[in-house]
A and B are shown apart, each in its own frame.
Chain A
């Protein structure tokens, strides 16, 4: 019992074609072998097998069929009995179990490997051999996860490759080895305490993971053997396939750095293999070296090149030549792998940009809510002007245009503004402007339009020309401001760069504004012109930003122009404001048809 706690166990799992494997390995196991060896094979329970007898004749150490509560001991080979599951505890005490079959199997390799993984951890070497189903793959991985060593019989050396391939597909076993290599490892392992040997192989495995992996394909075992012998100390992990279909299957799971391909093979020749590899996204960039006795035949060489080969070498193999060619291929492959890495880095960058973009869109949507919250609502405007409309179409979700309507005592002050720029900078300017206007009208109680403009100039100078900064912000806004004195039925207007359109019994006309806009560069005493009008019921007033008149479009791709706006308004003056709105809206849409909107668009119409 103590022996088992110090020492380890080697456990074989296999199905069809695996008896021959262990028959070839066991004769090499010496009498003083320091580990217990356990064998779990699928066998039919209806046939009386005498596996123990057959193996006993081959092995130098005792071969024992496990009975319930048998204690595993070093230098014995134990066979799991048919029709029972084999379980074990950490002392090496075996328990048989007659519960349900697992994957139609009893004994099930998965059940036993699983148990050994738990009980022995890093003192367990699991070996999965030839077989026709996928039993054992999951649990071999578990042995690896629990610190044990995993060996899979190389598919090309297996009578039936399904079982080894299932393990290779599922994870990256420590070692893929043929029969003689497995025997060699078992002898080598006996020289050390088992966990030392396992760590040694695992260390090599980790180093190996950065080594180039190559696949050699040849239907003749001797050729595989000699090629392997030539290349095995060159610092590659070498996988072998003995047929075209197996090579394709392996290459679909493992990213090889180079494939050395025999041309003449039964079932599927090398050209066909190369053709199929060339059509698959995963394999099409793997360099291929054809190796064939046909090497001297020029036509065949060309056919090989056609199917995606990098090189074509004649048999028998010239060792220095193939080593040199292989080095070149590996270089190529690593370049390709690097470029793939770069590509995936770019893809990652792109997706993180998209993320930023979507975050940005979300914050823009929120900003839009904020901006709309400072604009007067339709109810406020409707309460002051029974018939009115507002067209507000920022170029982006937020913009630099704004409008303002407020009743102050007996007066109504209203304005349309257009801050320089659109989008975020425009919106920031419009927020600052709103704040300044609030300050002037609500706090300083200034209501005369030209005085409001002068006050705005002062505030802008304060905001953007502070003594600590020598940066002067050229930006500012254009605005048309009106104050309507309800009792007197008088309208005052002053404009900084924004005209208004007024329609009364004298007709429709544009009232020009002062030429200067508002910015930190304008003199505090600039004389904004004040206009006064008497207002009659039914008079109509229009304020607008330059977005509509500057919009390109129409049959000759020209600006809309103020003239066209005035014409449009004048021919519809009799209509209620809501219908006028619709007409303006439609003409903007049809004017710019196909064209990008160049700026924020704002038009406000009021009927007294």
Chain B
């Protein structure tokens, strides 16, 4: 096996790329977590077998589709349906009774990526007869993952795992009740989609745009540095309605952030908080 020696990127090259992307696309990655950004850039360089960094900079400046590919590589997040089944089980048992009381449920999935978690949520709501009175806003910075999310089409390979997750999340039916298989592809049922609004939203630069009863943003903040995390958490706080709930990833925290004292814990393990009255 011959291995191509690709360029090994260091801190100063990461800075150069951040500046170039900002100048040529307006996306600002300067408050992303450096180690993960470095890893993302390195992955792009390895995948494309790039050995000359100067040439890469030239190409990115001259070729906007290449620049877009790089941005997509940096912003794409891996996800699956009913990831962390116990988290969804906790929503069923701990949040559903409260949501049930609301006349209209407004939910924001921030950084929804290819949409698996959004559909998981829609299924859960449907099973508890809440979907009809819900509006789910699903946003991401990356247009191409949003296109996948909107289409509701997924590769069938991941669905064995998804089905297991669904059952562990205490789902009452079968996951396959919510999709059909067409030409070897999974296609999510249309009735799930009617209540979902997909839209681009950049957590770095865009502001709060509504009031929500539930904000879900899991494994997105890990890619930001502490100060950007604080800003985004503040925006989430500002977007929460009275008694609004915030759920973040299980290895993330709002401790040491400006909103720490204004939130109370609902579920410590799954990092579910509620706005203090």
Contact = CB atoms under 8 A, between A and B. Distances in A.
Interface in A65-101: 65-69, 81, 84-85, 87-89, 93, 95-100
Contacts of B252: 67-68, 96
B219 A95 contact: no
A111 interface: yes
Given A67-B252, A68-B249, A98 B78 contact: yes
B67 to A, nearest CB: 21
A97 B225 CA distance: 12
Question: Which of B39, B43, B249 is packed against the most chain A CB atoms within 10 Å?
Answer: B39
Contacts of B43: 99
Nearest to A87: B35
Given A67-B253, A68-B252, A98 B222 contact: yes
B251 A89 contact: no
A69 B36 CA distance: 12
Contacts, number: 60
B143 interface: no
Contact of B34 (A81, A89, A98, A111): A89
Contacts of B35: 87-89, 95, 97, 115, 119
> What band does the interface of chain A fall in when counting residues whose beta carbon is under 8 Å from B?
20 to 34
Contacts of A69: 222, 225-226, 229, 253
Given A98-B77, A98-B78, A100-B78, A68 B221 contact: yes
Given A68-B221, A68-B222, A96 B39 contact: no
Nearest to A65: B251
A235 B67 CA distance: 59
A96 B34 contact: no
Given A98-B222, A99-B78, A100-B78, A81 B251 contact: yes
B59 to A, nearest CB: 24
B27 to A, nearest CB: 19
A67 B225 CA distance: 13
Contacts of A89: 34-35
B251 A84 contact: yes
A364 B260 CA distance: 87
Nearest to B42: A114
A111 B77 CA distance: 17
A100 B252 CA distance: 19
Interface residues of B, number: 21
Nearest to A46: B164
Interface string A102-121: 00000000010001001100
A99 B33 CA distance: 14
Contacts of B78: 98-100
Given A67-B252, A68-B221, A68-B252, A87 B39 contact: yes
A52 to B, nearest CB: 13
B88 to A, nearest CB: 15
B222 A95 contact: yes
A68 B253 contact: yes
Interface in B176-213: none
A505 to B, nearest CB: 79
Contact of A98 (B219, B229, B253): B219
Interface in B248-277: 249, 251-253
A119 to B, nearest CB: 8
Contacts of A100: 78
B232 to A, nearest CB: 13
Given A68-B221, A69-B229, A97 B253 contact: no
A69 B34 CA distance: 12
Interface in A238-255: none
B71 to A, nearest CB: 15
Given A87-B35, A96-B222, 10 more contacts: A69-B226, A69-B229, A81-B251, A84-B251, A88-B35, A93-B226, A95-B33, A96-B219, A97-B222, A98-B77
Interface of B: 10, 33-36, 39-40, 43, 77-78, 219, 221-223, 225-226, 229, 249, 251-253
22 contacts: A68-B249, A68-B251, A68-B252, A69-B222, A69-B253, A87-B39, A89-B34, A93-B226, A95-B34, A95-B36, A95-B223, A96-B219, A96-B251, A96-B252, A97-B222, A98-B77, A98-B78, A98-B222, A98-B249, A115-B39, A118-B10, A119-B35
Interface of A: 65-69, 81, 84-85, 87-89, 93, 95-100, 111, 115, 118-119
